[in-house]
Structure 1
Amino acid sequence: MLKTISITQIYVPDQDAALDFYVGKLGFEVQTDMDFGPMRFLTVALPTDPGHAVLLEKPGAPSMSEETAAQVRELVSKGASGGHLFFTCDDAWKTHAELRERGVEVTEEPVDRGYGIDFGLRDPFGNHVRVAQLTQG
């Protein structure tokens, strides 16, 4: 049977800019950065969760034509590509303040939603990111 999720994928039109955001602003570490000819296989992971990586995939060959890649880039920029990442933290207000200090454009203030306090942001490309301080119990 299935045991764990090892890699989650999101589309990013610019992998170097994605590294700047995910590593430089959110605190991820590069796990894999390999050139496979038509594509760059680039994964990052949080130092606290190295078993779950995020593949920062540039839309294009070999998985899709340039026409389809252009459509995917447009959907990503509108926040409509389905790319969502969900993270937990110990203190939503502190994490929110730290991310703003690092220059992250936070789209939602922390709100108590019953299950915990959470807030939202988007990466520079349009992918949705949510951060939650979950209520224990």
Structure 2
Amino acid sequence: MRWLTVRTPDGHQILLERPGPPSMDDRTAEQVRDLVTKGAAGGHLFFTTDDAQAMYEQLVERGVDITDEPERRPYGLDFGLRDPFGNHIRIAELSDVPTAQASA
């Protein structure tokens, strides 16, 4: 079984694993990996950075599978990628977005 655990500075852990034995047979694992790669499994990991464009350029240089080019969105600059196991990841540089004030 193969997996990668990523720990953030504040102690949160993210487990990324490749579907396969011993939790499932090889045929099932291949089907699951195919579905995950197509995005059928749903869900994304979402990370933030202070400079999304620089992060994007660095990841492109390293040969990362970029699925969505950087795009300006209401919440900031955002792009998507896929890790070697097919997991979808989004990285964004968040803008200061005003929040609605609750009325008293």
CA contact (8 A) 1:85 1:129 kept: yes
Aligned-partner Cα distance in 1 for 2:24–2:65: 30
Aligned-partner Cα distance in 1 for 2:34–2:65: 20
Q: Which of residues 51, 54, 74 in structure 1 aligns to 2:14?
A: 54
What SS does the corresponding residue of 1:98 show, helix, strand or coil? Answer: helix
Match of 2:39 in 1: 79
Match of 1:119 in 2: 79
Aligned-partner Cα distance in 1 for 2:89–2:54: 17
Q: Which of residues 34, 43, 57 in structure 2 aligns to 1:97?
A: 57
Q: Report the alpha carbon displacement of residue 57 of structure 1 after superposing the two structures with TM.
A: 2.1
CA contact (8 A) 1:85 1:130 kept: yes
Aligned-partner Cα distance in 1 for 2:27–2:45: 26
Match of 1:44 in 2: 5
CA contact (8 A) 2:18 2:85 kept: no
Q: Report the alpha carbon displacement of residue 61 of structure 1 after superposing the two structures with TM.
A: 4.4
How has the CA–CA distance of structure 1 residues 62 and 107 changed in structure 2, closer, same or farther, with 3 Å as cutoff? closer
Q: Give the unaligned 5+ runs of structure 1.
A: 1-38
The code of the aligned residue for 1:58 comes to R
Which one is further off, 60-69 or 93-102?
60-69
Aligned-partner Cα distance in 2 for 1:67–1:107: 26
The code of the aligned residue for 1:51 comes to G
Q: Give the unaligned 5+ runs of structure 2.
A: 98-104
The structure with more radius of gyration: 2
Matches within 5 A, 1:120-135: 120-135=80-95
User: Residue deviations 1:82-112, cap 9 Å, x none?
Assistant: 2521110001111111111122132222111
> How many residue pairs are counted as aligned between the two chains?
97
Pairwise CA RMSD: 2.4
